[in-house]
Amino acid sequence: MTHVLVPLPYGHEALEPHMDAQTLHLHHTAHHNSYVVKLNAALADDEERKGLDLASLQYVAGYAGLAVRNNGGGHYNHCLYWQNMAPIGSANTKPFGGLEEKIDQTWGSFDKFKEAFSQAAIGRFASGWAFLTLKSDGTLVVHNTPNHDNPLMETVSDVQGIPILTCDVWEHAYYLKYQNRRNEFVENWWRLVNWDAVVNNYEQYALQGRPVPF
Ligand code: MN3
């Protein structure tokens, strides 16, 4: 199969002012697109893995060489990231239902959870991602990964499980607007989180033991 860059579910201006249009445009059409193009090139001669859908590919990406791991992870993580955000006012701004209960149970409150996740995002040295992940033992954790690694990748990530929320903390995600102030970017990013999508990822996929398909 050929992997494709799917259009964003909103316009480039839709996440202003917290995420500026120029950043969003470049991030999607240049950065994300390059991962898709390079992933297809890397898989062209990989008979074992070229037929896998993007989510299934994540599990075996750690055995497939760095080009598949980096570009396949880059493609998957960005798909989850775009889906995890929404224009202000168009989605729930807090978790609800079973996910809300689980977060309260795990961290004590939504604010405590946000602190822990922000810490994972801000504390990632250099380029990487912060994730909210449901492990197979049923625990919900926040963690981060370097490069484009994610918790679906067997043997790669120290946390193994199904990611339901992610924040991109590569400099290309925020540098034009926030320069070196990653903490300010993460603080404002919370206003963009689409909790309808995250709750759906939790209930329809993670709790069923399946990765969110892209
Ligand atoms: Mn990125």
> Cβ of 172: how many Cβ atoms within 10 Å?
14
The domain of 150 spans 20-214
pLDDT (tens digit per residue) in 140-155: 999 999 999 999 999 9
- pLDDT tier for residue 112 given thresholds of 50, 70 and 90: very high
Contact between residue 194 and residue 111 where contact means Cβ atoms under 8 Å apart: no
**Any domain includes 11:** no
Ligand 1 centre distance from Cα of residue 105 (Å): 31
| Ion ligand 1 neighbours, Cβ < 5 Å | 168, 170
**Any domain includes 117:** yes
Global pTM reads 0.98
**Any domain includes 179:** yes
**Any domain includes 6:** no
**Any domain includes 75:** yes
Ligand 1 centre distance from Cα of residue 167 (Å): 9
The mean per-residue pLDDT over the stretch 24-35 comes to 98
Find the CATH number of the domain harbouring 101. 3.55.40.20
In angstroms, the CA 52 to CA 177 distance is 37
Strand order in the sheet with 128-135: 140-146, 128-135, 161-168
**Any domain includes 126:** yes
Number of domains in the chain: 1
Ligand 1 centre distance from Cα of residue 168 (Å): 6
**Any domain includes 1:** no
**Any domain includes 160:** yes
Q: Which of 92, 94, 54, 91 is nearest to 73 (CA)?
A: 54
Contact between residue 120 and residue 126 where contact means Cβ atoms under 8 Å apart: no
